[in-house]
Amino acid sequence: MTNNTTALFLAAGYGSRIADVTNQPKCLLEINGKALIDHHLEKIETCGIKSIHIVTGYEKEKIINHLEGKYPNLTITFSVNEEFRRLGNTYSMMIGLKNISSDVMIFDADLMYDTMILKNFVDSKNSNAFLVGPAEITDIECAKTMVDTKNFVRLLVDKRAVSAEEQQKYKFIGEAIGIMKFSHESRLEIIKACEEFFKKEENLIKNWEHLFSLYLLNHDVAVHFEHSDKWIEIDNREDYNRALEIFRQN
């Protein structure tokens, strides 16, 4: 899943929870003297993916200017979520999916991870899959991944506890890291699901976990479980400090 795959980055958000660290887009936060978006693109390039699409919003010019002329071997395109404070990352995802025409690998742009985690996921056999890592079901903040008896993802529970009924129906397997991949055909189905989802105004601000919990009820999406814990989503100062520690150069 490389030659005809576009890496789609969701990088529109304001990042209010990390405003005490930076007022720039989160993807420009530096780890070891290098912006998160550069870590992403360098890893992606080593995996053989050449097509990149970035959905911007907050301070979009800073992201575009940062990348200008930097990656001559990659084709980088952009689209914009102009109302990023009102329209959440699911809406950004729909914008991006509509602006590409290939298989897709979707990334939350505020992630940091080891290169081998991405390589293993790129090389995995399933064309429709969530990258899932170790977590505790009691972690309210994480995107808890619930699977059926065939190990297909059926529910993502984010920022709340998993109910007793949900635990009886599905098995907890770990945290959806924020990287997923879908075939071209599934990309089209997800766009349709987004359009239906946004018929309700209250869904406009919601994160992609909410959209996929509906989509997954009648679409089979596999799990690629990564045992390594060398990854982190950076939402706040505590996460950023932990990222600096995890990826500290020796």
The predicted structure's pLDDT at residue 114: 96
The predicted structure's pLDDT at residue 16: 82
- On whether the CB atoms of residues 112 and 232 are closer than 8 A, the answer is yes
What is the reported pTM?
0.95
Q: Strand 111-113 relative to strand 51-56: parallel, antiparallel, unpaired?
A: unpaired
Residue ranges covered by each domain of the chain: 5-246
Ordered DSSP codes for 2-51: -TTEEEEEEE----GGGTTT-SS-GGG-EETTEEHHHHHHHHHHHTT--E
Fold of 5-246: Spore Coat Polysaccharide Biosynthesis Protein SpsA; Chain A (3.90.550)
Return the structure tokens found at 146.
């619930």
The predicted structure's pLDDT at residue 208: 96
10 Å Cβ neighbour count for 68?
9
Residue 122, CB-side half-sphere exposure with 13 Å CA sphere = 20
The predicted structure's pLDDT at residue 160: 95
Beta strands in the chain (DSSP E): 5-11, 30-31, 34-35, 51-56, 75-80, 103-108, 111-113, 129-133, 143-147, 153-158, 171-182, 222-225, 231-233
pLDDT tens figures, 11-56: 999 888 888 888 899 999 999 999 999 999 999 999 999 999 999 9
- What residues in the chain have per-residue pLDDT under 70? 1-3, 250
The CA dihedral of 151, 153, 158, 161, to the nearest 10 degrees, is -50
The predicted structure's pLDDT at residue 250: 46
Alpha-carbon separation of residue 5 from 48, 72, 84, 204, 221 (angstroms): 9, 18, 26, 27, 17
